[in-house]
Amino acid sequence: MDASGPRLIAGLDEVGRGCIAGPVIAAVVVFPEGAAPFPGLADSKKLTPKRRAELARRIEAEALAYAIGRAEAPEIDRINILQATFLAMRRAYAVLGLEPDAIRVDGDRCPELPQPCHAIVGGDATEPTISAASILAKVFRDREMEILDGFHPGYGFAVHKGYPTPAHQAALRDLGISPVHRRSYAPVARVASLF
């Protein structure tokens, strides 16, 4: 640590890449370097919904800053999921309101950002700031899918959150494609060819 205080480290992660409906959501969370924010942070996929919600409230209360970014299904279809993920990450960073000294991203590539960025494969399970971002992104996206379930009843978005479960694919065949489905994804494209 220098005289100006600890470096500020941002963790950045996304959720929803493997879904066939809904947005891809990215979250960025800032903590001081070396600070173990609090116990229990882990990859959001390994936590129960209740535990994720508890941790999300604590992250929001204790992080120096956090922000959410998104890319919608039509954007995903137009530019592909990787570029849409990077777009969501840049959007989250753009509204952060705090300039971190460095950024750690889950995965093997970083989006173009103005600060030094380090990609860490499996970082959502090993880096507390990335774990925190993973949790916020997952909680936000799950809530979003519950809202979309009310606008597009019958698909079961509140249950499967847009992932291609057998029930979701059956509803897709029965009801057709909603405006929030990703038409470039194979299960949706197959149904589109039937209508």
- Give yes or no for residue 194 having a pLDDT over 80: no
Annotated ligand binding at 14? The verdict is: yes
Instruction: Provide the residue count of the chain.
Output: 195
Residue 75 assigned ligand-binding role: no
Domains observed in the chain: 8-192 (3.30.420.10)
DSSP calls for the chain: -BTTBPPEEEEEEEE-TT-SBS-EEEEEEEEETT----TT---GGGS-HHHHHHHHHHHHHHSSEEEEEEE-HHHHHHH-HHHHHHHHHHHHHHT--S--SEEEEESS-----SS-EEEETTHHHH-HHHHHHHHHHHHHHHHHHHHHHHHSTTS-HHHHTT---HHHHHHHHHH---TTB-TTSHHHHHHHTT-
Q: Known binder of ligand: residue 106?
A: yes
Percent of the chain at pLDDT > 90 equals: 86
pLDDT at position 19 is 98
Residue 1 has pLDDT above 70, yes or no: no
pTM over 0.85: yes
pLDDT(33) > 90: no
pLDDT (tens digit per residue) in 138-162? 999 999 999 999 999 999 999 999 9
Quick one: tokens of 73?
């299904």
pLDDT digits (tens, 9 = 90+) for 59-112: 999 999 999 999 999 999 999 999 999 999 999 999 999 999 999 999 999 999
